[in-house]
Structure 1
Amino acid sequence: MLTVGLLVCGPAAAAAVVVFDTTFARAPHRRPVFQLDQRFSILNGKVVGTNGFKAGIEWRGRMRAGIGLYRLSGGVPTRVRQPPGTPPGTRDEVRFRYGVVYGEYVFIGDRRWELSTPLQVGIGGYYTKYSYPDGAVGRTKSEILYLVEPSVAAHYRVFRWVGLGAGTGYRQVFASGSQPEDQISGYIFFARVKLFLGELYKVVRGREQLFTQQGLRRDGEVVR
């Protein structure tokens, strides 16, 4: 937060920050952001993963908004009774995928790391997959689901153009048809790779070193 004070001390301080740090969290311009997002949940006693990606726009380093797509990487064991006539030994799992609109507010951050509060609201579909003992596979008709995912996230910028992050939150499912909501609702924890496309473009355009700490160090930085 010391850098924030430098921004309001005067023109010289502000200019120094611009030259010294092109990746500062409160840059006054908009820039695109892209995230590969891997989420995990413990649902009905099984750890399951959800693969996804998000793309959006960042304003002044404080607010982000965009869209994303997610898909369950493995099935969730059901706790409902199988239909009459189902062969013994049949495995049944719930599978789902969904799209989201997200918003994110950064309330603590500097050149290297940040802490934020993402919120996702989405709509998607789910179905139950049956794996029969003879190797055949069946599935039910897809049902619509709605969900909201509040969370808390942090990331650490490894280089100017890429960061690694993690977080935790809760997925609450609404209007999920005939299936019990607790088969999809639950706590989530996630990991992410965050690409700063604007910074990557600057590095490539300026023919700078790709794997450099330039612009991230607090002290002893060599200004070019």
Structure 2
Amino acid sequence: MNRLVRKWLGLSLLATGLPLLAQAGTADDDSSRVRQAHRRIVFQFDNRYSVIDGKLVGINGLKLAVEWRGRLRAGAGVYLLSNGIPSQEAVPAELPVGTTAELRFRYVAGYAEYLFIRSNRWELSAPLQFGVGRFFTSFEQPNGAKSKDAKSTVWLLEPSVSSHFRVFPWFGIGVGAGWRETVFVERTLDEALDGPIFYGRVKLFLGDLYKTARFKRKLFSQQHFRYEG
């Protein structure tokens, strides 16, 4: 756990040390001068890459969160591997020759995210996720029959640093990087699942999308960025 704390503190220091990258606009874009709604709903496609059992894999995720005053965000997400990972372990002797084995991993997570920098265009934040899921091996026999071994419950922490660029008032794209640390699990799972995470994401700002439709604004307008201070 001390190792995890050091990593998260390092990521947080990195976030606070990158303001010039996130403030590429003029001084009028400073988040302190941008009026933020008291609260709003944020929906994210949180697709990411990671290293599991020594292999680079894709993890697909969906997040829904509530944001308060443009600084604190909290919500929940669900994640699963985009594809199974070929297992390095031997296939059980009772299964026929030619049986293939793949590792599977899925989990749900609650998260909190503090926004260090917030402007019309840019955002830089430090999310922290705490989740629980299942890790198991799926077997497929030559005749197509499938089975699973016993599922292991996995608890995990994921501190990271994230940033995004808002292309339109209701749509943004972003990147991030962090670390996944499993807790309360046996050592073999700890070694297989601990590892870096990095991701790209697409963000839909439902409140701004609603305002765009309600007030009949142009869908791909840049007026919000030119005139809102």
Normalising TM by the smaller chain, what interval?
0.7 to 0.9
Point out the more displaced range, 134-143 or 156-165.
134-143
Question: Does structure 1 residue 139 correspond to structure 2 residue 158?
Answer: no
Distance change in 2, residues 1:110/1:129 (3 Å)? same
In the superposition, the TM-score normalised over structure 1's length comes to 0.81
Q: Deviations over 1:175-200 (max 9, x none)?
A: 34585322222111111111111111
Change in Cα spacing, 1:88 to 1:5, as seen in structure 2 (3 Å) is closer
Change (3 A) 1:74 1:6: closer
The structural deviation recorded for 1:94 is 1.4
Aligned residues: 204
Deviations 1:71-96 (A, max 9, x none): 11112233434433444443222101
RMSD: 2.4
Identity of aligned residues (%): 46
Amino acid at match of 1:64: R
Matched, 1:174 2:151: no
Alignment of 1:211-222 (within 5 A): 211-217=220-226, 221=227
One-letter amino acid of the structure 1 residue matched with residue 66 of structure 2? I
TM-score (norm 2): 0.80
What pairs up with 1:1-224 in 2 under 5 angstroms? 2-3=27-28, 24=34, 27-176=36-185, 179-217=188-226, 221=227
Deviations 1:51-70 (A, max 9, x none): 11111111111110011111
Contiguous gaps of at least 5 residues in structure 1: 8-16, 18-23
Q: Is the alpha carbon distance of 1:143 and 1:45 closer, same or farther for their aligned partners in structure 2, counting shifts above 3 Å?
A: closer
Shift of 1:43: 2.4
Q: Which moved more, 1:90-99 or 1:33-42?
A: 90-99
Q: CA 1:159–1:5 in structure 2 vs 1: closer, same or farther (change >3 Å)?
A: closer
Distance 1:133 1:182, change over 3 A: farther
Deviations for 1:138-196, whole angstroms, at most 9, x for unmatched residues?
Answer: 21122211111111111010100010011111111223458532222211111111111
1:28 and 1:48, CA in 2 relative to 1: closer, same or farther beyond 3 A?
same
Q: Distance in 1 between matches of 2:193 and 2:31?
A: 47
CA 1:194–1:5 in structure 2 vs 1: closer, same or farther (change >3 Å)? Answer: closer
CA positional deviation for 1:29: 1.2
8 Å Cα contact 2:43/2:65 also seen in 1: yes
Stretches of structure 2 that go unaligned for 5 or more consecutive residues are 1-22
Whose Rg is larger?
1
Indicate the larger mover: 194-203 or 169-178: 169-178
Letter in 2 for 1:181: D
SS in 1 for 2:92: coil
Amino acid at match of 2:175: A
